[in-house]
Amino acid sequence: MPHPALLAVSHGTGSAAGQRAVRALVDAVAAHLPDVAVRLGHVDVQQPDVAASLASLPDGEPVVLVPLLLSAGYHVRVDLRRATRDRAGVTVTGALGPDPRLADVLAERLERAGLTDGDAVVLAVAGSSDARANDDCRAVAALLGERLARTVAVGFLAAAEPRLARAVAEARGDRVVVGSYLLAPGYFHDLAVREAGGAAVARPLLDDDEPAASLVELVLDRYRSAVEPALERDSSV
């Protein structure tokens, strides 16, 4: 039986740096799956969109769609389901977060931003109209707090409170360092830098360096979590 294709779907960004960073992640995933057709699509802003990405794969080929999204908000719960409902054989996995590996990468980014023991940490997140997605982000902040052995506050950039500027203003420490819980450079990271009010802002999860091995592993795990049960069912027939 052929391996299902992997369609990685990002939000999409107008930032060339963000586009390169996401592409580097997908290329790294593809290098681990030489026998799998790996495609990159987008739910907004960029092309190809989900429909065009699915159309690039042969009819009838099973597809595992892995959202390159950090929480299960409207895009995961509604947009992706709607975009795939007319094609049989598409499995949509969970979002990338919450997951302890994301906290590990955030901690590494903060350390590279010069985090010290006396600093307060605020996690900048995009924010969503879906409260469940915001709860996912708070869960990652809690995981990061465990990793750093300190409280991590959350500051939203849109759609929820407290906004990042307020969270930074209320933080108490030798200084404030902002973690960027954003997949790649782009509009929201630039907004985080502006709203941080001069506080140090760590780089997003993906940047101009090699994608963290744990992020590659996370995408692979989402794919395999959908593929392996199907293979087990087929082998039992």
Angle at 140 between CA 164 and CA 171, to 5 degrees: 35
pTM of the model: 0.93
> Domain map of the chain by residue range?
5-96+209-236, 100-201
The reported pLDDT for the residue numbered 75 is 65
Confidence of residue 77 (pLDDT cuts 50, 70, 90): confident
Whether 100-201 and 5-96+209-236 are alike in CATH topology: the answer is yes
Work out the percent of the chain whose per-residue pLDDT is above 70.
95
CATH topology of domain 100-201: Rossmann fold (3.40.50)
CATH topology of domain 5-96+209-236: Rossmann fold (3.40.50)
Which pLDDT tens digit goes with each residue over 171-185? 999 999 999 999 999
- CA pair distance 149, 199, nearest whole angstrom: 21
Which pLDDT tens digit goes with each residue over 116-144? 999 999 999 999 999 999 999 999 999 99
What average pLDDT score do residues 205-233 get? 89
What average pLDDT score do residues 180-199 get? 98
The reported pLDDT for the residue numbered 73 is 73
